[in-house]
Amino acid sequence: MTKVGTALVTGASSGIGKEAAKALAAMGWHVIAQGRDADRTAAAEAEIRHVATGRVDMVNCDLAILSDTAQMADQIAELTDQIDVMLCNAGGMRSELVVTSEGNDASFAGNHLGHFLLVQRLMPQLRAAKNARVISTTSDGHFYCKAIQWDDLQLISNWDAGASYCLVKLCNVLFTRELAKRGAADGIVTHAFHPGVVGSNFTSHVPDSTRAYMATLDAQTPEAAAQPLIWLATSDEAGTMTGLYWNKSVAEEPNALALDDSNATRLWTESAALLAKAGF
């Protein structure tokens, strides 16, 4: 993808999302960047604009709230009629169960369901690009998910921080693989990307035990960790493949659950049902 175009980056107020947005903006892309925290988003916008050689639009939204996400999708549709790259990067781990006003686990909605809705609403813009790319930031934590509880998909009745995080990261990979099939006719390329351990604000809301463990690990800078993500978004080579799981810059086989096509199809169906239940 040698040309520049329009890129939507979620989770762009910090970490690798902000670094990817800055890199694309410096290349001359029209960057539409999303953040949840108003102050952090404003600060990130200033950083992105400082290096930008193209247009920058910043939007505030909590992807865990589907009504907010739908409104953001409408706002984005007014900003552009074409999206060449969508980096579904927002997400994270929570230390406790939070059920939104729409009845969803905020972790499940913020990491998976909000992006699912965003892609549905912006499909016309993705199709218009002819060869759009949708890259989802996941984690190697998805390997620790050993089963999907379809009768309690969001684990609300038996919630655990670690189990929830591993599940939603598995959902990122399943979504990637299913979108690769459903979007192929429209030229949509998809990838799921594990950045590795990153020195960011990821640990801000995690359980104390997780924070203590991560403090023992060697962390990359967000700028370094974002490089494979930028490559997936912009390189010609990455556009020749689709539906893959990447560990940094290496394509690897994901969790066996993620390779089960029936799981990918069912997650899509169940996610669509959750959107319908919420009125979308």
Residue 145 tokens, joined? 């998910």
Angle between helices 261-277 and 114-121 (to 10 degrees): 80
Q: Are 244 and 191 in contact (CB under 8 A)?
A: yes
Of 32, 122, 41, 116, which is closest to residue 74 (Cα–Cα)? 122
CB half-sphere exposure, 28, CA atoms < 13 A: 4
Which of 144, 165, 213, 245 is flagged as catalytic?
165
Cα dist. 38→2, 14, 58, 108 in Å?
33, 12, 10, 22
What length is written for the chain? 280
Residue 69 tokens, joined? 């996400």
Whether 245 sits among the annotated catalytic residues: the reply is no
CB half-sphere exposure, 271, CA atoms < 13 A: 27
Cα 125 to Cα 169: distance, rounded to the nearest angstrom: 25
Cα dist. 2→22, 56, 188, 265 in Å?
17, 20, 16, 33
Residues noted as catalytic? 165
